[in-house]
Amino acid sequence: MADNYSFDVTTGVDLQEVDNAVNQAQKEIAQRYDFKGSKAAIDFQRAEGKLKLVADDDFRMRALYDVLLSRLIKRGVPVKNLDEGELIEAGGDTVRKEIGLKMSLDTETAKKVVSAIKEAKLKKVQGSIQGDQVRVSSPSKDELQTAITLLRGQDFGVELKFGNYR
């Protein structure tokens, strides 16, 4: 029997589901009457983990963003992991917006997760930052379950995933 049990806390999005959602949103935009003749477009840059939206004006940008958001939600992509950029005026009477995808826990969020575990004062539960994930370990499986429940109940600005439970 193992003397210490652990699990990993990570975050991320399924890039294939994002790709599917973008394709569905583009099909809907092509068919909608309010987008006829407009320069509305969504560009998914998979390598950089970014979405670039282009529209004619602020109103169409909001509509384009709403269509994309609804498709992402339907595909099960965590909306918390979207890093929405500012609206930028571009040439040719268009506006642009970049949306970043948070693929891993940043250092600040990982520190918040570790401090939340420490503040809860769970018996012999320890969290340690290991690159872009947090490993939580304890000799008791019940305490680890309590830690998972505690972390699910708090908002860290990203969707937390719990894996590698052993």
Mean pLDDT of the chain: 88
- Is residue 61 scored above 80 in pLDDT? yes
Average pLDDT over residues 10-35: 91
| CB-based contact 68:25 (threshold 8 Å) | yes
Q: Do domains 5-11+105-163 and 15-101 have the same CATH topology?
A: yes
The CATH T-level fold of domain 5-11+105-163 is Alpha-Beta Plaits (3.30.70)
- Through-space distance between the first and last CA atoms of the chain, rounded to whole angstroms: 11
pLDDT value, residue 164: 83
pLDDT in tens, 95-142: 999 999 988 888 888 888 888 888 888 888 888 888 888 899 988 888
The token pair that represents 39 in the structure block? 């320069």
H or E segment and range at residue 103: none
What average pLDDT does this structure show over 23-36?
90
The pair of three-digit structure tokens given for residue 49, joined into one six-digit string = 């983990």
Which residue did the predictor score with more confidence, 95 or 3? 95
Third-level CATH fold of 15-101: Alpha-Beta Plaits (3.30.70)
Residue 119's pLDDT is 87
Instruction: Say how many CA atoms lie within 13 Å of 26 toward its Cβ.
Output: 14
Per-domain residue ranges of the chain? 5-11+105-163, 15-101
